[in-house]
Chains A and B, each alone.
Chain A
Amino acid sequence: MTRYPIHKGEHNPTPGLKVDPEWSVRMLTDFIAREVRRTGHHKVVLGLSGGLDSALSAFLGAKALGPESVHAVLMPYRSSSADSLADAQKVVDALGIHAETVEISSMVDGFVGVTSGEIDRNRLGNVMSRCRMTVLFDRSAAHRALVLGTSNKTELLLGYGTLNGDLASAINPLGDLYKAQVRQLSAHLGVPRSILDKPPSADLWPDQSDEKELGFSYDEVDRLLALLIDARISRASALERGFSPEMIDRVTKLVLRSQFKRRLPVIAKMSTRSINWDFRYPRDWKS
């Protein structure tokens, strides 16, 4: 009897993390331009840390609105790495956007001075993040500019950000892009090499590293999140794909525990038409 060749199919439930850089940039720059103009504004303001996320937001903002309409604020703390500031400056120079430097050490120290007892480094990190938010929203009012967000999907899902701090913005072009996708678009737009190559860090204390703190690499967690969240695969399928049970459990727990950071505060329903329950208008309501 003839031996027939066997063709084995393999099902891949997720198309992977590859994005089309040109179409994606087009969609995101259109998004920024549309949302900014819809609210009667022309400008954006953003905090530039020297890291990859804020660099990409700045590049997208400049492409969408023109460099003259992007106001970057560099907000180092005393302990911030000098490299971060230098990298932020590279973005400013590459794009020709407006920039100012606001040293936040005295704000943070002033707060610490009126706070009783010891403040650990996590709390201090949150205070820094919220001081930066305060500066940005003040500049937003001063320049009639919207605050451009810089939180990516990986961070948002893991809750790796400060509520009312770096998570606060008016519009966020990066919120549905995993870190790996932020990297692809950044490379495509010509974000400086030193920013693309360095390990991601919140830079809230010396030698801080996202990947050390999270306990896994962005590449790994991006792949896992894309499977669990986007492709809705089960824990069992994730195990089959070689992810460790510890990692799956830790990631699942981080996503669950940080749900509050992705929502507005809970409002107790006390009327017949409560905000967000039965008073449902889009953000772009009549704009």
Chain B
Amino acid sequence: MRKVRVVVAQIAPRLGEVQANLEHHLEVIEQAREAKADVLVFPELSLTGYELRDQVADCAPDCGPAVRRLAEASTDLDLVVGYVDESPAHKFYNAAAYLSGGEIRHVHHKVYLPTYGMFDEGRYFARGDVLRTFDTSYAPAGMLVCEDVWHPTSAWLMAQQGASILFVPSSGPTRGARPGEVTSVEVWHELLSVTAQFQTAWVVYCNRVGGEDGLIFGGGSIVIDPFGRTVAEIEPLAEGLLVADLDGEVLRRARTAYPLLRDADVEMIYRELGRVRRTRFDLPGEDPEPST
């Protein structure tokens, strides 16, 4: 892995205003250039805002051109942006795109759409069905959108495919403030730290701020090293840019000290998962016997 400077944009996108958000993205890109960013990360649904409901379909047609416009701006720095991706079959995905060298390098469709409590994403979005990594000029990477990272297998699959950096764009709302903390920010930090530690990978978390319909987004964007230690973080609730340098040397040390990747037993997991699957869905097949 090459050394890379990441800038995280903890911003408050405007709900349903793709054009205004696009212009704001372009302004932030200018600032990130001044900070000599190699990669600039925007939050989940950064071009559209989060609590869209029926605006999902309304916004989608403007998202394509906006992402292409941002791709054009990605000649001297890479971008992670969030938007609504409409498929040719008119399925709407909660998507994150990795833009680089003037092109759309990779698109991730959010796999886990929270549909409980205050969340209703499963009603409005189609569920992504693959978890794939991609190459960048500095390291293989993966993108996991918000809830995706709450399922530990997501990060694990990314790491097993070689990802050294996990980008996690989010629109994570708070649940008020308990003494000493903005609720949910600390929970996120713990979860991300464990994710980085378990996968011995860099984690770059970009959570939005601002509010929509009374939802208040917490921010608390953070960069965590492959040991699970905080490299840089930004205070909750406020807009701002976070800058962090990710060093391949740290990744090497973490993976040398904790060879978890080396020791992951993919064959065993595959067999046991096959057994779980056969049991759960009542499928035919032989269960392997444990060796004696």
Q: Is B288 an interface residue (CB 8 A)?
A: no
Query: 1/0 per residue A242-274: CB within 8 Å of B?
Result: 000000000000000000000000000000000
- Is there an interface contact between B177 and A286, defined as CB atoms closer than 8 Å? no
A24 to B54, CA, bound (A): 30
- Is there an interface contact between A281 and B237, defined as CB atoms closer than 8 Å? no
Residues of A near B213 (CB, < 8 A) are: 282-284
Residues of B near A30 (CB, < 8 A) are: 211, 216, 237
| Nearest CB on B from A142, distance (A) | 26
- Is there an interface contact between B178 and A26, defined as CB atoms closer than 8 Å? no
- Is there an interface contact between A282 and B211, defined as CB atoms closer than 8 Å? no
Nearest chain A residue, comparing its CB with the CB of B52 = A282
Count, chain A residues at interface, CB 8 A: 23
- Is there an interface contact between B53 and A19, defined as CB atoms closer than 8 Å? no
A23 to B237, CA, bound (A): 9
- Is there an interface contact between A27 and B54, defined as CB atoms closer than 8 Å? no
A27 to B178, CA, bound (A): 12
A282 to B48, CA, bound (A): 13
Given the known inter-chain contacts A20-B181, A30-B216, A34-B211, please indicate yes or no for A281 contacting B176, CB distance below 8 A.
no
Q: Is A176 an interface residue (CB 8 A)?
A: yes
Count, chain B residues at interface, CB 8 A: 24
B178's partner among A19, A34, A280 (CB-CB below 8 A) is: A19
- Is there an interface contact between B15 and A285, defined as CB atoms closer than 8 Å? yes
Q: Is A4 an interface residue (CB 8 A)?
A: no
Interface centre among B53, B177, B180, B213 (most CB of A within 10 A): B177
Residues of A near B55 (CB, < 8 A) are: 281-282, 285-286
Residues of A near B53 (CB, < 8 A) are: 280-282
Query: 1/0 per residue A9-22: CB within 8 Å of B?
Result: 00000010011101
Q: Is A31 an interface residue (CB 8 A)?
A: yes
- Is there an interface contact between B181 and A284, defined as CB atoms closer than 8 Å? no
Residues of A near B214 (CB, < 8 A) are: 31, 283
- State which residues 234-291 of B face A: CB under 8 Å: 236-237
SS of B interface (majority): loop
A176 to B211, CA, bound (A): 15
A30 to B178, CA, bound (A): 17
Interface centre among B15, B53, B236 (most CB of A within 10 A): B15
Q: Is A287 an interface residue (CB 8 A)?
A: yes
- Is there an interface contact between A15 and B178, defined as CB atoms closer than 8 Å? yes
Residues of B near A26 (CB, < 8 A) are: 237
B174's partner among A15, A27, A285, A287 (CB-CB below 8 A) is: A27
A14 to B274, CA, bound (A): 39
Residues of B near A22 (CB, < 8 A) are: 177
A287's partner among B15, B179, B180, B216 (CB-CB below 8 A) is: B15
- State which residues 61-119 of A face B: CB under 8 Å: none
Q: Is B103 an interface residue (CB 8 A)?
A: no
Nearest chain B residue, comparing its CB with the CB of A31 = B211
- Is there an interface contact between B176 and A27, defined as CB atoms closer than 8 Å? yes
| Nearest CB on B from A170, distance (A) | 12
A284's partner among B15, B182, B216, B236 (CB-CB below 8 A) is: B15
Query: 1/0 per residue B45-72: CB within 8 Å of A?
Result: 0000001111100000000000000000
| Nearest CB on A from B179, distance (A) | 5
Residues of A near B190 (CB, < 8 A) are: none
Q: Is B210 an interface residue (CB 8 A)?
A: yes
Q: Is B16 an interface residue (CB 8 A)?
A: yes
Given the known inter-chain contacts A281-B55, A282-B51, A282-B53, please indicate yes or no for A27 contacting B237, CB distance below 8 A.
yes
Q: Is B17 an interface residue (CB 8 A)?
A: yes
| Nearest CB on A from B178, distance (A) | 6
| Nearest CB on A from B119, distance (A) | 13
A-B contact pairs, 26 of them (CB 8 A): A18-B178, A18-B179, A19-B176, A19-B178, A19-B179, A20-B177, A20-B179, A20-B180, A23-B181, A23-B182, A23-B236, A27-B177, A30-B216, A30-B237, A31-B214, A35-B211, A176-B176, A279-B54, A282-B52, A283-B214, A284-B212, A284-B213, A285-B16, A285-B55, A286-B15, A286-B17
